[in-house]
Structure 1
Amino acid sequence: MKNIFKYLSIGLIGGVLFTGCETTNLDLADNPNALTPAQADPDFYLNEVQVRFARVVESLGETGAETVRMEWMGSRNYQNAYSPQNFDGSWEDAYQEIIKNGRDLAPLAEEAGLVHHLAIAQLIEAYTITLLVDYFGDIPYSEAIGGADNLNPAPDSGADIYAAALALADQAIANFNATALADPDIDFYYDGDWDAWVKAANTLKMRLHLNLGNASAFNSIVSSGNYISSTDDDFQFQWGANAVQPDTRHPNYAQNYTVTGGGDYASVWMMNLMDTSDDPRIRYYYYRQNDGTPGSNDVNGDPVPPNEETLDCSLQSPPPQYVAGGFPFCTLDNGYWGRNHGNNSGIPPDGLLRTAVGVYPQAGQFDDNSFSETSLGTGGGGAGITPVILASTVDFWRAELAMNSSPASGKAFVLAGVTKSINKVTTFGSLDATADLSFEPSATDISDFIASVDAAFDAADDEGKWNIMAEQFFIALKGNGHDAYNFYRRKGYPTNLEPNLEPNPGAFIRSHFYPANAANTNSSIAQKSNVTGQVFWDTNPASPSFPVAN
């Protein structure tokens, strides 16, 4: 990260100051073991806000990605796919470590003229509260920071929170444009480039306007030109390679590059889509620990025998819905070893066999056909990124708006998004110092792939065009499942996603259960009975008729 050495020296201090609170609900009274707001350093507050924000974006982004097949979801039933306890950590981080610390920072920043400190906290709060709405629906906000004066804050409507977030973004823009008496010691995102922060704020507003269906407001920002349109201005968090005290590595790297190998399974749908289309990003996204998966053909085209111990489904027949739709079941050619959507089998001894996360965005290993086992510290050491909003994402947003009027009119934006994504991803190979980069795609490989997307888009009917757009959008969103999850609820594409292994998995998750600690300790929050409740901007038909693929 731009300030990694500073982070290594103060990150542990910030963690001690602001993570000791035992409260896990919305009782946000001051922790007697931490500094009081009057004693605290504004930079420590801001450091904690920035780092915790990255962790919330990363954690909830995994959930969104799993739901839409970008990553593996291991449940055959949507109702039970994610328990309320799954979200306790992100909820606590959002309220205590981001919102409350940002609010405690505010009077200190205002008194000292630290308007840029305040602006960063405001924009991060705006993103955070709308992220919570997108996943959970109505949430406490206006009463949430009352501390002991209100231990049971009532939820506000999602629409009101979106309005508050848009206002916060405008306040942040004004403060970014103002002259500060001193700047933050550490800006983990833009290293003090306040013009870039303004672009990020405007781009967050575009994201919200898109969910709100406000094309006019969205296009007004496009017309201004003051938004993230270049990868140079991408809104992202840069992780480090330090493993302990503090662990600054990308969280997915830490889970997958261990002495026992991978901790996650890759999505069969996503790997198959990229492999069969010769997507030049595949060697950056996935690292194969072996050259063949049981029940398929290896990289030389030779069959690999099924193996009951390491991949039991390699001896099973595909379910009827996979046969009917022609979806690959269980095993893929060329050593891509993952799991289908809904595969809830036990974990066999395959940690050093399954496909691991790659050099993008987690800073693992670049796939150079070495087919060696991953281990602690290999590849880029975890010094990857968490994408928040990328320029390629904006291109796909613009494609969506154009395609709402005429599917054919979105092609230029789709191709722009694909191009920006590839150009960004292919810079990550150098993070793996031991990789043989002769396996990187050539300029011809890249141009041929883009040409194939162009030709396929032209040849497709309207639904096919939407499916191609959605597939390419999801691929470009690697590392950030939020916008894919939102898009799928807005549009219902792609319609050709692989189904759950369970023939009747229940209705699709339109919003998630409230976190357990929130519902169990706050009398103003009633836990949901199911996951079919739609967030306020999701005005599409109810599940299971929408989205199409369950």
Structure 2
Amino acid sequence: MKTYFKKISVSIIAAAGLVLFNGCDLDINDNPNLATGAVVTPNYVFPAVVATTMYNQVNYYGYASAAYFVGYQVPGAGIGGFGDVFSNSISSSFNTGAWTAVFSDLRDLQTIIRKAEEDPQYVVYGAISQVWKSYLYQLLVDIYGDVPYLEALGGGSGNFSPKYDKDSDVYQYLVADLDIAITTLKANLNTSGLALLTSTTDPVFKGDLAKWVKFANNLKLRLLVRARGTVIDSFVQSEFGKFSSDGFLKENVLVQPGYNASSRENPFWEIYHSSVAGSNTQAANYYIPSCYVFAFYNGTKLNDPVRGALTYKSFPNTPRWSLADQSAGQPYTEKYTWHVGTGSGVNASVAKGILKSRAAASPLVLAAETYFLLAEAALFDHALDGDAKSNFEKGIEASFAYLELEGTATAPPDVTAEVAEYFKLNSDNYLVNFDKATTTEQKLEAIITQKYLALNIIGSHEAWTEFRRTTYPTISGTDSLTTFASTQSSSPRPDKLLIRQIYPQNERDLNENAPLIRDGFSNPIFWDKD
């Protein structure tokens, strides 16, 4: 049996129980009854972690936080209790699942990694778990900054107060661990005698290790692009020349752990539409888009009738509101703002757009994002796969193609005509016509603004991160079309926005090494532009 699973940079002494679909709110320093390989095996643990990751990303990293922070959604009339959204006065009790649920998944992944070292037949599971672990850790770093890494996930060793590692250091550890995972996967592409991945045990790529290698390259690309120009820029420039020759995954990364209409819904549908029983969610009943984001579709900033109609019900007459101008009062939603099909509750139709169906696979990373990352890399002298303009345009096309998918379909449709019309309608605007961007900064603005549109609701966490990193899309004033900041914001910053989240209070209570962060306006992440 040919295996290759090199020791990674962290302690492989993790432990955790099997996580089922909504995660459990255990703290990183908890030491629960430890699951052992005799009880839980990687082929059961990994798909459960994938499913909870997808739910956590849509819920804690999108709907409950970043979708507000970047203006994708605002509360409509008829609902209260949004004081922290209006004022940006978040505390250590805000959105704690973004920390606890993710660390719960990380402990499970570490269990798999340890099992792979102990039992070589699980080497492939160990490698893909390392890739997934890197993905989760970047989520954490991008909203919290410093996190426990080198000493984390080792509750069984007796260290219940792991030290915090610098955010910039963790980025470097993640790049190194992805390289190791890639090497391991490539060494075992055709190895016999291993516990192999299947469509059931691998809800992401159904056992296609070549795709896992490319996906790991994608994650490394995201890390390096984000860290360019920071305190670790010399490391970044060196690593840009060390990519695996296998290339990048230029397709939507879709998670499908068995979503269906009767028991386990796609998390976007579960959060933004209705329950299995057909009961409307809070988002379905009350949430609407901000005037700021809507202006990129209805001709105010850009003219995008196709994606507008694929994103918003009743476009261009969708109710919208602004935290920046609350004088008009909140309009009522028409229900199901982001479902462009027909019907309601259990009778809702499958559709194109964001809310496709209860049983549709859930997008973890869009192909559009990968193209925009490649475009930005090329813009700054790292043409890894095509130039900046070609990747920029492919990113826009990939965004159209994803939204045009209907129901459970996964094969990208031909959107050539729609994309050509979009370029024609906006031919004089450098945010669409790359040739009209006359400076590097304008080209970067175009790339990030189009990424912002591609990630609308689907990848709110990434859009918020990219806004903080680049300040794009541009906000330039105090009215509903020029900013998504609230008039009631308590932020002392000129833009009146948040730049981070705060560590949960239970982490501060249990780990003496946890930094004391009092507000969301200071202590920026290392890549934050300002």
TM interval, short-chain normalised: 0.7 to 0.9
Q: Which residue number corresponds to residue 335 of structure 1?
A: 317
Answer yes or no: is the 8 Å Cα contact 1:25–1:517 preserved in 2.
yes
2:361 maps to 1:388: no
* Cα distance, 1:527–1:243 mapped onto 2, change above 3 Å: farther
Q: Which residue number corresponds to residue 269 of structure 1?
A: 292
Q: Which residue number corresponds to residue 309 of structure 2?
A: 283
Answer yes or no: is the 8 Å Cα contact 1:113–1:182 preserved in 2.
yes
Task: Give the drift of 1:15.
Answer: 9.5
What does the per-residue CA deviation read over 1:207-233, in whole Å, with 9 as the maximum and x for residues that have no partner?
1111221564575367946112x32xx
Q: Which residue number corresponds to residue 189 of structure 1?
A: 204
SS of match in other structure, 2:95: helix
Task: Give the drift of 1:36.
Answer: 3.4
Q: Which residue number corresponds to residue 397 of structure 1?
A: 373
Answer yes or no: is the 8 Å Cα contact 2:116–2:126 preserved in 1.
yes
Task: Give the drift of 1:467.
Answer: 4.1
SS of match in other structure, 1:388: strand
Q: Which residue number corresponds to residue 248 of structure 2?
A: 227
> What is the TM-score of this pair, normalised by structure 1?
0.72
Q: Which residue number corresponds to residue 132 of structure 1?
A: 140
Q: Distance in 2 between matches of 1:514 and 1:75?
A: 19
2:473 maps to 1:452: no
Q: Which residue number corresponds to residue 346 of structure 2?
A: 376
Answer yes or no: is the 8 Å Cα contact 2:147–2:167 preserved in 1.
yes
Task: Give the drift of 1:133.
Answer: 0.7
What does the per-residue CA deviation read over 1:422-474, in whole Å, with 9 as the maximum and x for residues that have no partner?
12321236769xxxxxxx99854431112334542244664655544332211
Which letter maps to 2:253?
F
Task: Give the drift of 1:187.
Answer: 0.8
Q: Distance in 2 between matches of 1:500 and 1:448?
A: 32
Q: Distance in 2 between matches of 1:241 and 1:198?
A: 25
2:267 maps to 1:250: yes
SS of match in other structure, 2:248: coil
Q: Which residue number corresponds to residue 36 of structure 1?
A: 36
2:456 maps to 1:470: no
Q: Distance in 2 between matches of 1:223 and 1:150?
A: 36
Q: Distance in 2 between matches of 1:474 and 1:226?
A: 24
Answer yes or no: is the 8 Å Cα contact 2:87–2:486 preserved in 1.
no
Task: Give the drift of 1:414.
Answer: 2.0
Q: Which residue number corresponds to residue 27 of structure 2?
A: 25
2:487 maps to 1:502: yes
Q: Distance in 2 between matches of 1:188 and 1:537?
A: 33
1:166-205 correspondence to structure 2 within 5 Å: 166-177=175-186, 178=188, 179=191, 181-184=194-197, 185-205=200-220
* Cα distance, 1:108–1:51 mapped onto 2, change above 3 Å: same
Identity in percent: 22
Q: Distance in 1 between matches of 2:381 and 2:72?
A: 27
Answer yes or no: is the 8 Å Cα contact 2:45–2:108 preserved in 1.
yes
1:60-99 correspondence to structure 2 within 5 Å: 60-62=61-63, 63-72=65-74, 80=88, 82-96=90-104, 98-99=105-106
Q: Which residue number corresponds to residue 157 of structure 1?
A: 166
> What is the TM-score of this pair, normalised by structure 2?
0.75
Which letter maps to 1:210?
V
* Cα distance, 1:343–1:30 mapped onto 2, change above 3 Å: farther
Task: Give the drift of 1:150.
Answer: 2.2
2:392 maps to 1:414: yes
Q: Which residue number corresponds to residue 237 of structure 1?
A: 255
**Structure 1 gaps, min length 5:** 1-13, 292-333, 359-364, 367-371, 433-439, 542-550
Deviates most, 453-462 or 523-532: 453-462
SS of match in other structure, 2:94: helix
SS of match in other structure, 2:254: strand
Which letter maps to 2:215?
A
SS of match in other structure, 1:248: coil
Q: Which residue number corresponds to residue 369 of structure 1?
A: none
Which letter maps to 1:44?
Y
Quick one: which of 516, 525, 544 aligns to 2:514?
A: 525
Task: Give the drift of 1:189.
Answer: 0.7
Q: Distance in 2 between matches of 1:516 and 1:79?
A: 20
Answer yes or no: is the 8 Å Cα contact 2:306–2:418 preserved in 1.
yes
Q: Which residue number corresponds to residue 502 of structure 2?
A: 513
SS of match in other structure, 2:459: coil
Q: Which residue number corresponds to residue 6 of structure 2?
A: none
SS of match in other structure, 1:127: helix
SS of match in other structure, 2:224: helix
SS of match in other structure, 2:364: strand
Task: Give the drift of 1:92.
Answer: 2.0
Q: Distance in 2 between matches of 1:443 and 1:17?
A: 42
Q: Which residue number corresponds to residue 116 of structure 2?
A: 109
Q: Distance in 1 between matches of 2:428 and 2:294?
A: 22
Q: Which residue number corresponds to residue 49 of structure 1?
A: 49
Q: Distance in 2 between matches of 1:103 and 1:76?
A: 34
RMSD (Å), alpha carbons: 3.7
What does the per-residue CA deviation read over 1:391-442, in whole Å, with 9 as the maximum and x for residues that have no partner?
3212222333444589xx844332221012212321236769xxxxxxx998
Q: Distance in 2 between matches of 1:77 and 1:254?
A: 18
Task: Give the drift of 1:137.
Answer: 0.6
Task: Give the drift of 1:240.
Answer: 5.0
Q: Distance in 2 between matches of 1:376 and 1:337?
A: 24
Task: Give the drift of 1:108.
Answer: 2.7
Q: Which residue number corresponds to residue 295 of structure 1?
A: none
Answer yes or no: is the 8 Å Cα contact 2:29–2:510 preserved in 1.
no
What does the per-residue CA deviation read over 1:87-118, in whole Å, with 9 as the maximum and x for residues that have no partner?
3223222212x221112222333314222211
Which letter maps to 2:364?
V
